[in-house]
Structure 1
Amino acid sequence: MKEDITQEVVLDAGVTAVLDTGLLTIQGPKGSVQRVFNHPKIALSVDSGKITLQSPKSTKREKKIISSFRIHIQNMVKGVQEPFIYKLKICSGHFPMNVSVSGNDFIIKNFLGEAVPRKITFNKEANVKIDGSEIVVTSVDKEVAGQTAGSIETMCRITNRDRRIFQDGCYIIHKAGKDIV
């Protein structure tokens, strides 16, 4: 059954939002985040202190999309107030790994005794720090922080060896407010 759906996201104090032809920019004390919200049947509007999502005569598809848009906007508002933090644990049992960050490059040397270092380039919006045997990834954008942490974990994937014996690598232990381990 078709019905009119309206959902609102209330902005906290110190957070501002600007909408410019589908590009929503949210600014806060810790930074700013941008994201494109384009859908032909969903209208976005920014009023004083709130963001309104409207869809006239919507079906269940538009209801799902509006709910997804609302959650994305809520994550953006949370991120500009308090950045999202992901933590990874460095585990090396067989060969001592050398982990370093230079600019936007994350480099692992001597992973399982390999001669060629493993290297990824992460997004410039993410901030990666190495603190002893922990890697801390922070960003105001939840997707950027999660993608960076996932890329670091994936680059340490072990193939052609028994995973029960070779447990070396970098593993996510804390995801944006939730402890995994």
Structure 2
Amino acid sequence: MATSTEQEIMAEVKIPSGVKLTKEGSSIVAKGKLGTVKKDFLRIPVTITIEGDKATIKPYGKRKRDLAVTNTVRSVIQSMVKGVEKGFTYKVKIIFAHFPISVKVKGKEIHVENFFGERSARVARIQGDATKVEVQGEDVLIKGPSLDDVSQTAANIEQSTRIKDKDQRVFLDGLYIYTREEGM
């Protein structure tokens, strides 16, 4: 008879009183004062149970990889809870040397106009319904409850002003992420 010294892998997430966490099929929904964040865990090999004020995550296996997957799911759920409770803010700086860049929010798109004197605007998409974008002087503020949506919107803005076919050490014009914060 072989005895196993392996320990069961498990992770828990404590749910604060102002946040409601529910399970809908393979999705987890976090509701709080700043809105709702929904994430699908269909393709991830873990079992998530929600009882009272904590969520428990158990993987299917007992290998090192399963521990990594479990900790990743725990981090994702923690960021969902943090997002509906406090929110996330990314700040993007507008930098130009010669041609003054103007940034405008039009619906679900951000238009970067007069970039290197170009006649047509460069366009970046705003991800998610709850993500808010505002321009304050030389800063663009991106706020929302979903870390995925806020960070992807900031990345879209930064990528829209990427310079090709020029030396990037000399031509520094563009929009660059410079601060990531919790709270809105």
Structure 1: unaligned runs, 5 residues or longer: none
> 1-side partners of 2:27 and 2:45: how far apart?
16
Whether the 8 Å CA contact 2:36–2:145 is kept in 1: the answer is yes
Give 1:146's aligned residue. Answer: 151
> 1-side partners of 2:45 and 2:62: how far apart?
8
Change (3 A) 1:75 1:40: closer
Whether the 8 Å CA contact 2:125–2:153 is kept in 1: the answer is no
> 2-side partners of 1:170 and 1:55: how far apart?
41
Give 1:134's aligned residue. Answer: 139
Whether the 8 Å CA contact 1:101–1:128 is kept in 2: the answer is yes
List per-residue Cα deviations over 1:4-37 (Å, max 9, x = no partner).
Answer: 2121100011111110211100111111100012
Give 2:14's aligned residue. Answer: 10
Does residue 1:80 correspond to 2:95, yes or no? no
Whether the 8 Å CA contact 1:4–1:55 is kept in 2: the answer is no
Whether the 8 Å CA contact 2:92–2:140 is kept in 1: the answer is yes
Equivalent of residue 172 in structure 1, options 163, 168, 177:
177
Superposed CA RMSD in Å reads 1.6
| TM-score between both structures, scaled by the size of structure 1 | 0.91
Change (3 A) 1:156 1:39: closer
Deviation at 1:122, TM superposition (A): 1.5
Percent identity over the alignment?
Answer: 30
| TM-score between both structures, scaled by the size of structure 2 | 0.90
> 2-side partners of 1:48 and 1:9: how far apart?
11
> 2-side partners of 1:94 and 1:101: how far apart?
23
Give 1:44's aligned residue. Answer: 48
Change (3 A) 1:118 1:40: closer
Deviation at 1:39, TM superposition (A): 5.1
* Secondary structure, aligned partner of 2:69: helix
Structure 2: unaligned runs, 5 residues or longer: none
Q: Which amino acid aligns with 1:162?
A: D
Give 2:29's aligned residue. Answer: 25
Give 1:94's aligned residue. Answer: 98
List per-residue Cα deviations over 1:100-145 (Å, max 9, x = no partner).
Answer: 0011110011100111111122223321100011000011111111
Equivalent pairs, count: 177
> 2-side partners of 1:5 and 1:85: how far apart?
33
Change (3 A) 1:9 1:113: same
Deviation at 1:55, TM superposition (A): 3.2
Q: Which amino acid aligns with 2:90?
A: Y
Whether the 8 Å CA contact 1:89–1:172 is kept in 2: the answer is yes
Q: Which amino acid aligns with 2:47?
A: A
